Structure 1
Amino acid sequence: MPITEKDILFEDNHLIAVNKRAGDLVQIDETGDESLEQQLKVFLANKYNKPNEAFLGVIHRLDRPVSGVIIFAKTSKALVRMNELFKGREITKTYWAVVRNQPNPTTGTLNHWLLKNQQKNVVSAYAKEVKGSQHAELSYKLLTKLGDYYLLQVNPLTGRSHQIRVQLSSLGCPIVGDNKYGYPRGSRKGSICLHARRLQFIHPVKKEPIDILAKLPVDGFWERFEGV
């Protein structure tokens, strides 16, 4: 499904943020499926009547089964400066995750060393550093319980591949639908219950505070948590 104006969460001359749908690929990979980056380039070229392809810089990524806010750069200057903000951990990232097991304790910080198997695209978490691993840290808290499900707020302090998924699984709380990391069954929709809810930062050019909130997916499940 192509991007439309209703998918755009924020846009100015330097940046554009999209509410990514679960299942959308951020950048083209070996599958050859159309990527969000490609879709957004077409959207911008059409919107601003640009005969040549619009500039678009990928700043960060979300896993394919994850939904929520993702931001791109519309200028090379913004790309460089946003990369610096992410590298300097000057971006506050807030995710919502739904799990079936109550975390113990209900609020805490997780520190692991993550090692990725590139061939299998699976990450393992270790309590101590192992060769080739990267440190990963996040904080979490229980927001509410609805029926048999627990809604967690997660704030990653690092930006490692599959970080939230493997760290919550290591806590005994695999994300609903994430059978790659311990949930008993996958989703027929190819999604998991992890949503990039919010991005907060100081605009790299205008130096103004930016707060971007992504509505939850309308998929018959997430709606129950929208009023939390």
Structure 2
Amino acid sequence: MIIRILYEDNHLLVVEKPVNLPVQADDSGDEDLLTLLKADLKERHQKPGNVYLGLVHRLDRPVGGVLVFAKTSKAASRLSDVLRKREMERTYLAVVRGSLGDGGLLEHHLWKDTKKNKVHAVKPSHPEGKKAILHYETIERKDGMSLLAIRLHTGRSHQIRVQMAASGAPLYGDQKYGQHVNRPGQQIALWAHTLSFPHPTTKEILKFESTPPFEHPWSIWKQVGAEALTM
């Protein structure tokens, strides 16, 4: 599998994650992005022994788009700190069923059922609920769907998928949180569009962009991604 590399230096590796590829090894036993990238680094740089590649953040298996890895433990630690301080900005593109408002802030409390690997929107009083916040803008509405630009303020598991479903606009193709309106086999329409953060050593602000493939439902909109950059 060919993985598109967006940026690489001695500290970082930024790639475009393909859809339906797990970020790291799981119970499925399928090949995963982390293992593939380590093997590629070992071959390209002719590195002896084990290759270090630190996982900083994740994308759900069916989701594609921009993702950063750390090539040193120091970079991993600094990027984790950046993430914790919310200095890493992430923008997503999503196609949802139905319509929300023109834009605004969505706030929910989410609880993850680890046994079923499913997240639920719960009342604020739930003892294990964690606050989840995102900002969305509706770029365009068409054919009973809406194209959204979404910026995360928190990074909860399945956050966008659950918050959209809880708001009455489940993601196109989402079988887990929108099975009542989606058919099996439809690809989830969620894409990690932009990623911005300070470089772990130079502190320079780096920004990367990835756009979804021009396939349905993305192909309904001819200029996918352009408007999201103004968010």
Q: TM-score range by the shorter chain?
A: over 0.9
Aligned length: 223
Give 2:112's match in structure 1, choosing from 108, 116, 135: 116
Computed over aligned residues only, the root mean square deviation of the Cα atoms, in angstroms, reads 1.6
Scaled by the length of structure 1, the TM-score of the pair is 0.92
Shift of 1:187: 4.7
2:199 is the alignment partner of 1:203: yes
Give 2:83's match in structure 1, choosing from 83, 86, 90: 86
Aligned to 2:23: 26
Most deviating of 47-56 and 133-142: 47-56
Give 2:44's match in structure 1, choosing from 25, 28, 47: 47
Correspondence list, 1:131-170, <5 A = 131-170=127-166
Shift of 1:52: 2.1
Correspondence list, 1:177-216, <5 A = 177-183=173-179, 184-188=181-185, 191-216=187-212
Runs of 4+ in 1 over 4 A off after TM superposition: none
Aligned to 2:227: none
Q: Gaps spanning 5+ residues in structure 1: where?
A: none
Equivalent-residue separation in structure 1 for 2:204 and 2:135 (angstroms): 26
SS in 2 for 1:84: helix
Shift of 1:222: 2.5
Q: Gaps spanning 5+ residues in structure 2: where?
A: 225-231
Check conservation: 1:177, 1:186, Cα contact below 8 A: yes
Equivalent-residue separation in structure 2 for 1:12 and 1:178 (angstroms): 35
Check conservation: 2:191, 2:211, Cα contact below 8 A: no
Scaled by the length of structure 2, the TM-score of the pair is 0.91
Aligned to 2:10: 13
Shift of 1:51: 2.8
Check conservation: 2:90, 2:151, Cα contact below 8 A: yes
SS in 2 for 1:38: helix
Q: AA paired with 2:139?
A: L
Shift of 1:163: 0.4
Q: AA paired with 1:109?
A: L
Equivalent-residue separation in structure 2 for 1:87 and 1:187 (angstroms): 36
SS in 2 for 1:179: coil
Equivalent-residue separation in structure 2 for 1:62 and 1:130 (angstroms): 26
